[in-house]
């Protein structure tokens, strides 16, 4: 029988930019863009909320970002520092549950005993602020979909719960894009049929949804009703790690912009591999063209790797050989063919043992940082979670 759990989605606000504002207090309250070459050829990785007011967004060419917000302060990223901070944030998550799925460098789902979700969320929000000085938003619900939506509603710097009973009031008024799998193109098509909100989809006849989404229509309808039975995917179940970006506008620039984006994506994949204790053998590049045609191309090496440089070079090579005709609307980089690094090996017989081992990994890092008292309370918390 499936356990009843509360699900949290924790996502740091304007992550790289917030770390820059933390490390350089003179940037606090200012529009900050973290990104590539300020001369205008790079890409914005992210920007502070002060810059978002001007319309600046992740994955936007720097040139456009600076047109929108000329007064922005541009900072070149420091991935090593962001990785270090992400590790500290995960240490905090690990105090509350061993059941966690790392989604990206600054985002994770946590599962906790039913009824504890909101309290844990508030604690995490407070601890991340008090101990690390960073803003984080946390969504709480009974499934991943609604936890993610709750987090988007919470942003920035807040906690929000969104339960099934709140779906008509809080979820249904949102645009269809709030549903996973509905991108800008599908949203356009739906709009032309008069379907704009999640509620419109929830009330849409199944035959109409089937015409638009084919085999995926039942899933889309379930999502629109707030239903989602996807389970968390802990590190030991990971089959692949991928990062992808859909561009705000279709991209023609194969010389500078696309390689810059691929470099960013490769760095994200590399970071997640290393922090999960994994090495990969295969890199897959995904490209989507403006007509929505999507291709994937892979390359496998005889040796395992997890460095940003190797991932970038493989992905760029795949791009150069398979780029097809511009423009592109999406690019993605995926690593697979994993083997675990020895020191973090989670390959143990039973689920229970695996959880214990995962907890040990978290405990080790906690002990290094905070001493043994924290570790004892972490163990107690796990026992508490086991009693459910
Ligand atoms: P996000 O969590 O998507 O964005 P964010 O934390 O900057 O802002 P939000 O408050 O909306 O959560 O991504 C986390 C980090 O990943 C982000 O700080 C920078 C990096 N990133 C890129 O490098 N390129 C991208 O296209 C995106 C979306 C993120
Ligand atoms: Mg974030």
Integer Cα distance of 18 and 296 in angstroms: 34
pLDDT digits (tens, 9 = 90+) for 338-381: 886 543 333 333 455 445 445 544 444 443 333 333 333 233 23
* Residue 131 a catalytic site member: no
Query: For 267-315, how does the pLDDT look when each residue is reduced to its tens digit (9 = 90+)?
Result: 889 878 887 778 899 999 999 998 889 999 999 999 999 999 999 999 9
pLDDT for res 136: 98
Task: Between 84 and 363, name the one with better pLDDT.
Answer: 84
Average pLDDT over residues 229-233: 92
Of 33-47, 143-157, 249-263, 362-376, the poorest mean pLDDT is in 362-376
Lowest mean pLDDT among 40-44, 164-168, 241-245: 40-44
| Residue 83, beta-bridge partner list | none
Decide: helix, strand or coil at residue 223. Answer: helix
- Determine the Cα angle at 256 with ends 254 and 261, to 5°: 85
- Catalytic residue, from 20, 91, 101, 107: name it: 107
Q: How far apart are CA 204 and CA 224, in angstroms?
A: 10
Averaged confidence pLDDT in the chain: 86
DSSP secondary structure letter of residue 277: T
Pocket lining: 151 vs ligand 1, CB cutoff 6 Å: no
Inter-residue contact 295 to 325 (CB < 8 Å): no
Q: Tokens at residue 91, please? A: 């240490």
Can you tell me which atom of ligand 1 is nearest the CA of 155? 10
Phi, psi of 35 (to 5 degrees): -175, -175
Q: Using the mean position of ligand 1's atoms as its centre, give its distance from the Cα of residue 106 in Å.
A: 8
Instruction: Tell me if 82 CB under 6 Å of ligand 1.
Output: no
Average pLDDT score over residue span 5-25: 97
**DSSP annotation of 227:** -
pLDDT of residue 345: 35
- Nearest ligand to the CA of 154 is 1
What mean pLDDT comes out for the span 212-234? 93
* Alpha-helical regions (H) of the chain: 15-23, 49-52, 62-68, 79-94, 117-127, 144-154, 184-192, 198-202, 206-213, 217-224, 257-275, 308-322, 351-370, 372-386
Rounded CA separation 149/153 (Å)? 6
């Amino acid at each position: 029988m499936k356990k009843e759990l509360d699900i949290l989605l924790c996502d740091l606000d304007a992550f790289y930019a917030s770390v820059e504002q933390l490390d350089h207090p003179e940037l606090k309250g200012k529009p900050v863009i973290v990104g590539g070459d300020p001369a205008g050829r790079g890409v914005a990785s992210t920007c502070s909320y002060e810059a978002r007011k001007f319309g600046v967004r992740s994955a936007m060419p720097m040139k456009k970002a600076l047109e929108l917000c000329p007064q922005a302060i541009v900072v070149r990223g420091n991935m090593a520092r962001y990785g270090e901070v992400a590790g500290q944030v995960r240490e905090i998550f690990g105090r509350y549950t061993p059941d966690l799925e790392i989604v990206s460098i600054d985002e994770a789902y946590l599962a906790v005993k039913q009824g504890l979700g909101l309290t844990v969320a508030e604690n995490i929000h407070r601890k991340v602020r008090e101990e690390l000085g960073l803003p984080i938003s946390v969504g709480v619900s009974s499934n991943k979909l609604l936890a993610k939506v709750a987090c988007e509603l919470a942003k920035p710097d807040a906690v929000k719960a969104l339960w099934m009973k709140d779906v008509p009031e809080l979820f249904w008024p949102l645009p269809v894009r709030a549903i996973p799998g509905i991108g800008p193109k599908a949203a356009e098509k739906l709009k032309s049929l008069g379907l704009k909100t999640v509620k419109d989809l929830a009330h849409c006849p199944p035959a109409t949804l089937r015409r638009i989404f084919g085999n995926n229509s039942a899933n889309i309808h379930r999502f629109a009703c707030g239903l989602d039975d996807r389970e968390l995917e802990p590190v030991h179940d990971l089959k692949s790690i991928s990062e992808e970006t859909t561009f705000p506008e279709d991209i023609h620039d194969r010389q500078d912009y696309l390689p810059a984006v691929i470099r960013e994506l490769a760095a994200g994949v590399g970071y997640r591999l290393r922090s999960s204790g994994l090495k990969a053998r295969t890199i897959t590049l995904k490209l989507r063209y403006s007509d929505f045609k999507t291709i994937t191309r892979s390359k496998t090496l005889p040796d395992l790797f997890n460095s940003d440089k190797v991932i970038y070079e493989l992905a760029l090579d795949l791009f150069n050989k398979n780029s097809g005709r511009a423009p592109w609307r999406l690019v993605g980089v995926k690593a697979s063919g994993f083997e675990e690094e020895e020191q973090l090996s989670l390959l143990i017989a039973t689920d229970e043992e695996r959880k214990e081992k995962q907890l040990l990994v978290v405990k080790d890092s906690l002990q290094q940082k905070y001493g043994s008292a924290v570790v004892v309370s972490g163990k107690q918390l796990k026992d508490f979670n086991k009693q459910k």
